Amino acid sequence: MANNLDDSQAELDSVEAELEMVELQISELLEKQTKLNSRKNKLLQNLEGACSSAQSSGSSKPPKPSFSKQDLEHYEESDFSWSKEVQAKLCSVFQLSNFRPLQRAAINLSMSGKDLFLVMPTGRGKSLCYQLPALCSKGFTLVIAPLVSLMEDQLMYLKSVDVPAVTLNASSTKEDSKRVLAGMIDKNSPFKLLYVTPEKIAKSKLLMSKLDKAYNMGLLARIAVDEVHCCSQWGHDFRPGEILFHPDCVKIVSHYKLLGILKRQFPKVPLVGLTATATSNVLKDCQKILCVQEPITLTAPFNRPNLYYEVRFKDNEDCTDQIAQLIRERYKNQSGIVYVFSQKDAAAVATDLQKKNILAQPYHANMEPSDKSLVHQRWSSKKIQVVVATVAFGMGIDKADVRFVIHHTISKSIENYYQESGRAGRDDGSADCIVFFGFADIFRISTMVVMENTGQQKLQNMVAYCQNVDRCRRAMMAIHFDEVWNDDECNQMCDVCRHGNDYITMDITKHARDVVTIVEMASSMDEKLTPLKVCDAWLGKGPAKHRKTITVTSLSRLEVESVIIYLLLHGYFSEDFSFTPYTTHFYLKLGRKAALLKNDNHSITMKMKRRVMSHATVKKVSESAGEKSSAKVEGKRPADSDNKKSVAKKVKTLP
């Protein structure tokens, strides 16, 4: 009887364990199903037309595109009553011969009096879409921009092309303000563009009353809201480089929220909201906040065909030597930016580059404004070659001939990376965007974004972008931004498409079990391990007491790091933060999928770049694949052969 009970108990335990596993698998599959369904719906929506009207917020009806492809084609034409003037001023004032994608449509829509949201990648020429209509309309255009420095750059540029433009901001003198306020109600319109901060709209009754008068006189031609995503509660996630890290971030965002007054007071004035990256949810929020009834949303293709995207692994934590070599050899006499993680890094990397005879200077938020603008000016006029900057170097940077943007440390999200790298090649000439991907950097950034709602998820997406070895980098960004993507469009302008066949697919199940056991054992002893400690322990370098119980790996450090990152990205590990008054620590703990490794049938494969793998591993993998007839190899064909044809799939077991 006792035996029977024991057997039953044992079987019950085993059934329960198996059930737990099945539940995990079901929840995984359900998660995948939700993601695929949402992607499918998005693709179907996108296929219906490149543009669609932003739907009114909270509507439960399925989105009905009220702006069709045919409508777009209509607005791309050049037979409107204003077309000749627009074309003439494009050439004579702005010295440009052609429009870039969607610029003409945006201008025609705005000239037709429509409200518009224009989502266009950084550097593609959003400003022209309100500056040119301003020149071709009676009265003046009111431009809301978040930062005074940004306005000043615009005013400098407009002055250089003889476009009369003024600003009203906290640092305007009394005289200037008086002149501007009078000009607003002057029928001869002494200026065509008036730049103000959102704060000015929120606080200056005088400005609002002059706007009211100008409106009644028919002189308020248009309202342009730059960085319109700042209106939304989620929007500031999208350009943290500029707004979130700006000391006045909270103020800026709170003033944007009050801009609804403009459409309420001046309902007949067309509004154009401009942004580089905003999801449809953010735009819906902006629409509501700005009180715009039925805006048309134009989304320009996010692809920048002239940019070459590449990820390099940091084989030690300092990659400055490699960066210096690149700058000296590949980018001789060419301008570029090196983005770093912290102000300290900006100073240190700039000094290191200077020691290697590269004209580099640091730029970060904590510098005196005059020093910042000096660095900016020197760089713009090619007196220095490189700015080593934190994300504070962003908004208002409009240098056309930036030939390289190198990330010494990964960005904290793909949105950020897209913005930062997008500062390269604004002149449409080819330019390189290279990220150095380092293991320890992931955790430095992770602790920095710990208080942000979606900080960890966004960082994981960025890490997945960097760890990816088989998918076109542009395709990854396209999926991230919900864009329909055709692989041909990359044109070998990313490292994956250019150097195909550079990875091996390996079975890492045994390694995963070993390293998960290390973390499990530590936790059973009430010990927390940082990722670096886990690496050390697994490589047999940890404290002696651990070594007895640990299966030391034969993998190289880079391989070990890659496996740990993979396990973190795929839920076998997860983050465990601990906070002190001065700092935040990152530890690894078991993720919800770790339990799956107890199941003998569970296996994990990962794709690893050949260059990351040690010679020993590649050799052993090749030998084991040769021995086992069932072994599989997955490799990508070199991009110059037909890289879209599927190839035989084989998986090698990592020794």
Ligand X SMILES: Nc1ncnc2c1ncn2[C@H]1C[C@H](O)[C@@H](COP(=O)(O)OP(=O)(O)OP(=O)(O)O)O1
Tokens of 32: 């995948």
How many beta carbons lie within 10 A of that of residue 416, not counting itself?
A: 25
122 binds ligand X (CB under 6 A): yes
400 belongs to the binding site for ligand X (CB under 6 A): yes
- Considering only residues 125, 273, 295, 455, which one is a binding residue for ligand X as defined by CB under 6 A? 125
To the nearest whole angstrom, how small is the minimum distance from the Cβ of residue 127 to ligand X? 3
Q: Least distance (Å) from ligand X to the CB of residue 364? A: 19
Question: For residue 53, which phi and psi values (nearest 5 degrees)?
Answer: -70, 140
Q: Locate tokens 């999926």: which residue?
A: 479
Phi-psi region of 425 (alpha: psi -120 to 50; beta: other; left: phi over 0): left
Q: Does 155 bind ligand X (CB under 6 A)?
A: no
549's CB contacts (< 8 A; 6+ apart) are: 521
Q: Is 113 left (phi over 0), alpha (psi -120 to 50) or beta?
A: left
Of 89, 104, 124, 284, the residue at the interface with ligand X (CB under 6 A) is 124
Q: Which residue has the tokens 């300290």?
A: 344
How far is residue 362 CA from its own chain's centroid?
22
What is the distance between the alpha carbons of residues 77 and 171, in angstroms, rounded to a whole number? 42
- Select 276 or 469, whichever has its Cβ closest to ligand X: 276
By beta-carbon proximity to ligand X, the closer residue of 253 and 597 is 253
Token pair 């296929």 in the structure block, residue: 47
Beta strands (DSSP E) in 448-563 are 503-507
Q: What are phi and psi of 311, to 5 degrees?
A: -120, 130
Query: Cβ 122 to ligand X, closest distance in Å?
Result: 4
Q: Cβ 298 to ligand X, closest distance in Å? A: 13
Q: How far apart are CA 3 and CA 248, in angstroms?
A: 72
Query: Contact with ligand X (CB under 6 A): which of 398, 401, 470, 483?
Result: 398
Nearer to ligand X, 100 or 288 (CB): 100
The residues in 270-329 that bind ligand X, with binding defined as CB under 6 A, are: 276
CB of 136 to ligand X, least distance (A): 16
Instruction: Could you list the beta-strand ranges (E) of 520-579.
Output: 573-579
Would you count residue 126 as binding ligand X (CB under 6 A)? yes
Check residue 120 for interaction with ligand X (CB under 6 A). Answer: yes
C-alpha closest to that of 198 among 126, 147, 158, 242 = 147
Residue 394 CB burial class (10 angstroms; 0-12, 13-18, ≥19): buried
CB of 138 to ligand X, least distance (A): 23
Q: Which is nearer to ligand X, 393 or 586 (CB)?
A: 393
Q: Which residues contact 219 (CB under 8 A, 6 or more apart)?
A: 138, 139, 140, 184, 185, 187, 189
d(CA 629, CA 431): 45
Distance between CA atoms of 110 and 477, rounded to whole angstroms?
30
Q: Which of residues 609-638 bind ligand X (CB under 6 A)?
A: none
Q: Which of 53, 55, 108, 127 is close enough to bind ligand X by CB under 6 A?
A: 127
Shortest Cβ 619–ligand X spacing (Å): 48
**Minimal CB distance residue for ligand X:** 125
Report the nearest approach of ligand X to the CB of residue 331 (Å): 20
Site string for ligand X, 73-112 (x = CB under 6 A): -----------------------x-xxx--x---------
By the rule CB under 6 A, 128 interacts with ligand X: yes
Within positions 346 to 365, which residues make up the interface with ligand X, using CB under 6 A?
Answer: none
What does the per-residue mask of binding to ligand X show for 416-445, with x meaning CB under 6 A?
----------x-------------------
CA distance 261 to 208: 10
Partners of 606 in beta bridges: 506
Output the six-digit token pair for 64. 């009905």
Total binding residues toward ligand X, as defined by CB under 6 A: 17
Q: How near is the Cβ of 116 to ligand X at its closest, in Å? A: 14
Nearer to ligand X, 275 or 553 (CB): 275
Q: Which residues bind ligand X (CB under 6 A)?
A: 96, 98-100, 103, 120, 122-128, 276, 398, 400, 426
